[in-house]
């Protein structure tokens, strides 16, 4: 698979899956900075790659909308047959407005309000993933109250917290016992017992598990899949078959990472094949006896991160006795990841002159905080005011985490599809 963009000797180029590559500087010459550029060809190619890696399993992909919720991104993925994983009624409404069908939307998240649950009940979402016994109690009492108005039973998943600790930034692990997410095994057992005796119009479909994000080493994923699928099999065997204890689905969550330090996408593409192998091995016993019918996954970053650039213009190159700064017109308000997780994003001028000497800089934004940086001590071809820089791999958790702090206004958004740029 082609990389979304490549840094050639003298410029950044956008690679199209269908046609020739394009100079990003030329394609976007008339777009005012700062702006996001999404290569939608690449998003669709990723969805196809993921589907083909999982083709031997009954997998349905549900894109984690929080990674990038722009309608163009959602409809590109919907065109590839991808559903959605949402964590609020707001995200669900965006997905529906972009043309996704409610029956392909999973509702996750720890703090679903009554209003949001009502919305989920009546819009026919595919499944609600329950994160706590307290939430189950709320869902049960609401479903009982409304049983006469509900057209069909509400499909539930139970989110297991498998107590594994993947290698990633501590802010984005979710499957460790100290995290707020999911239920430990005793709580899951209690939830199952409660559902088994409930008279509410609820339907248990299976467990769900999501242990964290930006995972490149699949050891903890393997462990978590083993734990949750063994538990699903046990619980299924212990509960007598009934119309509301179906155990026909398993939700393996998202979390697949990308190599932010490299333009080369080979490693993360191969990761998908490993993931498919783990998923196949752990689900095999349940698939074989025919009760498990559907495996759901919820990738976000892997599908969209590479497709996005944040393009910004150098305002000043400020020299001080201690450090030299490249000050640009995009800030932490747009792309928070370096500030929040000390995340690395590659940066390159859109055009590089042969004579440009390389030097170490802090690349910083206009926001009135010293936490407003994109890179520290980064070696770059020495830029000048007016040059444009690309901040790579910004397609996931960029615009969705942005704010209007310091009131600089939103960034522009442009999309590449079918050989052309549109706004
Ligand atoms: N499913 C659930 C229940 C999730 O909470 C998440 C992400 C996903 C799926 C998708 O995970 P992904 O495939 O994108 O790793 N803002 C952070 C990432 C936070 C992820 C939150 N949950 C970042 O910029 O790295």
Range of the domain at 187: 109-297
Ligand 1 near 131 CB (within 6 A): no
What pLDDT does residue 330 have?
98
Residue 160 backbone phi and psi in degrees, to 5: -90, 135
Q: DSSP state, 378?
A: E
Please determine, for residue 169, whether its predicted confidence score (pLDDT) is greater than 90.
Answer: no
What pLDDT does residue 356 have?
84
Q: Do 253 and 338 have their domain in common?
A: no
In a domain, 147, yes or no: yes
Tell me the percentage of the chain whose pLDDT exceeds 70: 100
Name 153's bridge partners.
none
Strand, helix or coil for residue 391 = strand
Please determine, for residue 241, whether its predicted confidence score (pLDDT) is greater than 80.
Answer: no
In a domain, 94, yes or no: no
Ligand 1 near 67 CB (within 6 A): yes
Active site residue 31: no
Domain closes at, from 268, 297, 326: 297
Ligand 1 near 108 CB (within 6 A): yes
CATH code of 289's domain: 3.20.20.10
Q: Smallest Cα–Cα separation from 38: which of 417, 402, 329?
A: 417
Q: Which atom of ligand 1 is nearest to the CA of 396?
A: 24
Q: Which atom of ligand 1 is nearest to the CA of 301?
A: 14
Domain closes at, from 266, 297, 328: 297
Could you tell me the distance, in angstroms and rounded to a whole number, from the CA of residue 155 to the centre of ligand 1? 23
Tell me the percentage of the chain whose pLDDT exceeds 90: 91
How many structural domains does the chain have? 2
Ligand 1 near 300 CB (within 6 A): yes
| Contact predicate 246/202, CB 8 Å | no
Task: Pick the more confident residue, 45 or 1.
Answer: 45
Average pLDDT over the chain reads 96
Q: Do 232 and 118 have their domain in common?
A: yes
Task: Look at the pTM and tell me if it is higher than 0.85.
Answer: yes
The pLDDT tens digits for 26-84 are 999 999 999 999 999 999 999 999 999 999 999 999 999 999 999 999 999 999 999 99
- DSSP assignments along 292-332, one per residue: --EEEE---HHHHTTTEEEEEEEEEEEE-SS-EEEEES--T
Ligand 1 near 308 CB (within 6 A): no
The predicted model gives 83-103 an average pLDDT of 98
Q: Do 134 and 249 have their domain in common?
A: yes
The pLDDT tens digits for 330-383 are 999 999 999 999 999 999 999 998 788 999 999 999 999 999 999 999 999 999
**In 160-298, where do the E strands start and end?**
202-208, 249-251, 294-297
In a domain, 289, yes or no: yes
| Torsion sign across C-alpha atoms 289, 293, 298, 304 | positive
Task: Pick the more confident residue, 418 or 107.
Answer: 107
Task: Pick the more confident residue, 136 or 173.
Answer: 136
User: Which region, left, alpha or beta, applies to residue 307 given φ > 0 means left and ψ of -120 to 50 means alpha?
Assistant: alpha
Q: Do 287 and 311 have their domain in common?
A: no
Ligand 1 near 394 CB (within 6 A): no
What pLDDT does residue 233 have?
96
Q: Do 132 and 163 have their domain in common?
A: yes
In a domain, 85, yes or no: no
Please determine, for residue 197, whether its predicted confidence score (pLDDT) is greater than 90.
Answer: yes
Could you tell me the distance, in angstroms and rounded to a whole number, from the CA of residue 276 to the centre of ligand 1? 19
Could you tell me the distance, in angstroms and rounded to a whole number, from the CA of residue 304 to the centre of ligand 1? 12
Q: Which atom of ligand 1 is nearest to the CA of 305?
A: 14
In a domain, 100, yes or no: no
What pLDDT does residue 124 have?
95
Q: Do 259 and 369 have their domain in common?
A: no
Per-residue confidence band for 276, with pLDDT thresholds at 50, 70 and 90: very high
Q: Which atom of ligand 1 is nearest to the CA of 169?
A: 25
Ligand 1 near 168 CB (within 6 A): no
In a domain, 236, yes or no: yes
Please determine, for residue 18, whether its predicted confidence score (pLDDT) is greater than 90.
Answer: no
Could you tell me the distance, in angstroms and rounded to a whole number, from the CA of residue 174 to the centre of ligand 1? 9
If one counts every other C-beta atom within 10 angstroms of the C-beta of residue 220, the result is: 21
In a domain, 75, yes or no: no
Could you tell me the distance, in angstroms and rounded to a whole number, from the CA of residue 215 to the centre of ligand 1? 10
Q: Do 287 and 343 have their domain in common?
A: no
Domain closes at, from 249, 271, 297: 297
């Amino acid at each position: 698979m082609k990389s979304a963009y490549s840094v050639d000797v003298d410029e950044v180029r956008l690679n199209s899956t269908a046609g020739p590559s394009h100079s990003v500087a030329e394609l976007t010459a008339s777009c005012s900075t700062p702006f996001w550029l999404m290569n939608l060809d690449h998003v669709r190619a990723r969805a196809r790659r993921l589907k083909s890696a999982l083709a031997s399993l009954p997998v349905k992909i549900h894109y984690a909308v929080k990674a990038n919720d722009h309608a163009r991104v959602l409809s590109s993925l919907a065109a590839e047959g991808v559903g959605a994983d949402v964590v609020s009624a707001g995200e669900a409404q965006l997905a529906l407005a972009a043309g996704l069908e409610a029956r392909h939307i999973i509702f996750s998240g720890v703090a679903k309000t009554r209003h949001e649950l009502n919305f989920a009940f009546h819009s026919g979402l595919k499944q609600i993933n329950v994160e706590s016994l307290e939430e189950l109690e709320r869902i049960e009492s609401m479903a009982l109250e409304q049983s006469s108005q509900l057209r069909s039973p509400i499909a539930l998943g139970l989110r297991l917290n498998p107590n594994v600790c993947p290698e990633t930034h501590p802010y984005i692990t979710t499957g460790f016992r100290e995290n707020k997410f999911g239920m430990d095994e005793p709580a899951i057992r209690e939830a199952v017992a409660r559902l088994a005796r409930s008279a509410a119009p609820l339907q248990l479909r299976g467990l769900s598990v999501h242990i964290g994000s930006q995972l490149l080493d699949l050891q903890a994923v393997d462990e978590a899949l083993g734990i949750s699928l063994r538990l699903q099999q046990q619980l299924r065997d212990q509960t007598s078959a009934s119309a509301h204890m179906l155990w026909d689905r398993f939700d393996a969550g998202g979390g697949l990472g990308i190599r932010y330090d490299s333009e080369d996408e080979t490693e993360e593409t191969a990761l998908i094949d490993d993931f498919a192998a783990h998923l196949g091995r752990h689900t095999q016993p349940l698939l074989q006896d025919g009760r498990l019918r559907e495996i759901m996954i919820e990738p976000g970053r892997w599908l969209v991160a590479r497709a996005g650039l944040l393009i910004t213009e150098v305002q000043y190159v400020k020299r001080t006795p201690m450090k030299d700064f490249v000050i640009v017109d995009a800030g932490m308000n747009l792309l928070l990841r370096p500030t929040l997780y000390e995340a690395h994003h590659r940066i390159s001028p859109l055009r590089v002159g042969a004579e440009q000497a390389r030097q170490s800089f802090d690349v910083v934004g206009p926001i009135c905080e010293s936490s407003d940086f994109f890179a520290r001590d980064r070696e770059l071809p020495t830029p000048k005011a007016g040059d444009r820089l690309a901040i790579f791999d910004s397609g996931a958790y960029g615009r969705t985490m942005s704010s209007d702090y310091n009131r600089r206004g939103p960034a522009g958004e442009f999309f590449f599809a079918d050989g052309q740029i549109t706004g």
